[in-house]
Structure 1
Amino acid sequence: MTKTKVNPKVEDYVREIPIWQEVTEKLRTILLDIDVEITEEFKWHKPCYSVNQKNIVLIQGFKAYCALLFFKGSLLTDPERVLVDVGENSRVGKQLRFTSVKDVERLQKVIKAYVLEAIQVEKAGLKVEKKEKTNEIEMPEEFAIRLEENASLKAAFEALTPGRRKAYLYYFAGAKQSKTREARIEKFIPQILNGKGLRD
């Protein structure tokens, strides 16, 4: 492990997770060993890796697989055709999925190459082009991640009326900074779980 400092919160998390411990540790070792200035953080209760305070990748554990989420995965060239959409409403993030340590070892070079490309995308300030104005509202990536990770939240959100869902998405997406979007989402999760709208 070269330049990146180990984050104690991530150390604790990896020690305690019931599944995908070895896969998470292997992914973490690869990320920490990339010869650039990457910061290891603990966000959304997951190991997150950033450069210049911009999120690059997140390690996510699910029942069926462990994933490396590229926050701007849709902007990567993906020559190996290994990236998967996060969800049907997500246009920006993409995942690289693993079901064993062997999967990670087999794709080690690909992981490094994709992370380095993702860092260049972020440094270049590239952004996903916004859709032309339609009735659809773009789902903020931060909220898409929460829905993917929390089945109860996803079910509760989908059970809301279209108007209530739209109001939440407008409100979450209205914040320019990721931190603000995260704070807004965090604040309203209990309300969504209770089947209430933004103004209820």
Structure 2
Amino acid sequence: MKPEQTKTNSWNKENSWAEEIELLNSIVAKTELIETTKWGGTVFTVNGKNVLGIGGFKNYFTIWFFNGVFLKDEKQVLVNAQEGVTKSLRQWRFTSKDEVNETLILSYIKEAIENENAGKVSQPIKKEALVSEFLQKELDNNPTLAEAFLLFSPYKQREFLEYVESAKRDETKISRIEKIIPMILENIGLNDKYR
């Protein structure tokens, strides 16, 4: 690496926000949070729990709060980066150092730490049980198939069920079951060839 090159991480591919990220780091340093590196980027923790991260992207630099959904966000500065996908993480985006209000950022960080210490965390939502009448009928009529199916992890069983049930027509469901029966009997998961 040449001396003039600077280290980049996965969140800051262009490394165009070095000065701005340093400013955010200096603000976070005034708190009790511990700096660590996770997933190739800077993450700050309290009692071993992720509270916030800092990073630069193409068009902005950001602080994200892992359980930001619990923040009051009275100033309406937080966004959900992936609506419908991200459940609890919230970002506060900046495009210049002029937008960085240290007092306000510290108040959000303080609240995030209090929430973490109070145990406010978002729990993953369990998927409801998936049932396939057509596949269940095959399993009921073929004990060997049923036994082989039960050898798969719940995750792989669900893949088979989703594959069958995602078909709209009954004929397609039946043809998909015919396709997966040999796989189940040979202990080959539906997506094993891609793993």
| TM-score, with structure 2 as normaliser | 0.58
Provide the C-alpha distance between the structure 1 equivalents of 2:43 and 2:29, rounded to a whole number of angstroms.
11
The one-letter amino acid of 2:90's match is K
Structure 2 unaligned segments of length 5 or more: list them.
1-5, 130-158, 164-189
Matched, 1:124 2:118: yes
* Percent identity over paired residues: 33
Q: What SS class does the counterpart of residue 64 from structure 1 fall into?
A: coil
Which of 13, 34, 40 is residue 35 of structure 2 equivalent to?
A: 40
Structure 1 unaligned segments of length 5 or more: list them.
1-10, 136-162, 168-196
| TM-score, with structure 1 as normaliser | 0.56
Measure how far apart 1:198 and its partner are.
5.5
Asked whether the 8 Å contact 2:14–2:58 carries over to 1, the reply is no
Higher helix share: 1
Q: What SS class does the counterpart of residue 122 from structure 1 fall into?
A: helix
Match of 2:102 in 1: 108
The one-letter amino acid of 2:25's match is R
Which of 13, 18, 28 is residue 15 of structure 2 equivalent to?
A: 18
Structure 1 ranges of 4+ moved more than 4 A? 11-14, 129-135
Asked whether the 8 Å contact 2:79–2:90 carries over to 1, the reply is yes
**How well do the aligned residues superpose, as a CA RMSD in angstroms?**
3.0
Q: How many residues align?
A: 129
Rg (Cα) greater in structure: 2
Measure how far apart 1:50 and its partner are.
0.5
Match of 2:192 in 1: 199
Measure how far apart 1:199 and its partner are.
2.4
Provide the C-alpha distance between the structure 1 equivalents of 2:37 and 2:8, rounded to a whole number of angstroms.
9
